């Protein structure tokens, strides 16, 4: 196989095998690892996460993943977060009043979805901006979500960018979904991309997300 080399970060919280198999079907050469040298050398790094924000952050810190992620992004090396792997890219998460610091790659707090029934489990339509590369050709498609928490705010607005600044500086590009309220379904920001939904569980649309990301490597 001659596709890009992708490491799925094996930090103890995530559907690593299903993500790995989906990436292999999309054409990647995949390994499961938390080894710093292997992570640094890969064409792409995937950061999966399931469960609670605080537990995932503890697991990432135990694996020294924040340093690995920061080094890759500082060098413009692609990283893709999935589910809680998206959430931890924000400044913090508030779960039942417990606020936990995230990786602070994007401004914003992850909070409970304001919905009568949680978790949000199932298929929801995602609205994609025209400039998207990660979700190119997928506006209005449905993706599979399993979560009770999300970021409800636009990180570009939190950065205080006006229209001219957005044009010049390429702020985080957000795709949105709705469950109780509009929430961040995906973010693209130079080398860092992430999805709240699970591409590996989202059928042909999810496979297209992985293919699009591999083309960006």
Query: Any catalytic annotation for residue 200?
Result: yes
Query: Any catalytic annotation for residue 83?
Result: yes
Could you tell me if 46 and 82 are in contact, meaning their C-beta atoms sit under 8 angstroms apart?
yes
Tokens read off for 209: 């997300």
Of the residues 83, 147, 151, 188, only one is catalytic, namely 83
Return the number of other C-beta atoms located less than 10 Å from residue 109's C-beta.
17
Of the residues 11, 120, 147, 198, only one is catalytic, namely 198
Task: State how beta strands 44-49 and 5-9 pair.
Answer: parallel
Query: Any catalytic annotation for residue 11?
Result: no
Of the residues 147, 151, 193, 200, only one is catalytic, namely 200
Could you tell me if 213 and 80 are in contact, meaning their C-beta atoms sit under 8 angstroms apart?
yes
- Residue 215's φ and ψ, nearest 5 degrees, are -70, -25
Active site residues: 83, 198, 200
């Amino acid at each position: 196989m001659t596709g890009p080399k992708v490491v799925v970060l094996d930090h103890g919280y995530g559907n690593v095998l299903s993500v790995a198999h989906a990436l292999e079907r999309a054409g990647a050469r995949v390994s499961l690892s938390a080894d710093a040298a292997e992570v640094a050398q890969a064409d792409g790094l995937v950061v999966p996460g399931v469960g609670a924000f605080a537990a995932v952050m503890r697991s990432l810190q135990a694996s020294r993943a924040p340093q690995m992620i920061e080094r890759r992004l500082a060098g413009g090396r692609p990283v893709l977060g999935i589910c809680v792997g998206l959430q931890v890219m924000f400044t913090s998460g508030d779960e039942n009043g417990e606020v936990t610091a995230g990786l602070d790659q994007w401004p914003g707090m992850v909070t409970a979805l304001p919905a009568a029934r949680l978790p949000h489990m199932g298929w929801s339509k995602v609205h994609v901006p025209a400039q998207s590369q990660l979700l190119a050709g997928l506006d209005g498609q449905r993706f599979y979500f399993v979560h009770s928490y999300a970021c409800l705010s636009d990180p570009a607005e939190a950065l205080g960018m006006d229209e001219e600044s957005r044009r010049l500086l390429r702020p985080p590009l957000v795709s949105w979904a709705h469950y109780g309220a509009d929430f961040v379904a995906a973010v693209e920001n130079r080398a860092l991309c992430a999805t709240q939904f699970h591409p590996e569980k989202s059928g042909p649309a999810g496979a297209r997300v992985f293919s699009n990301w591999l083309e960006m490597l």
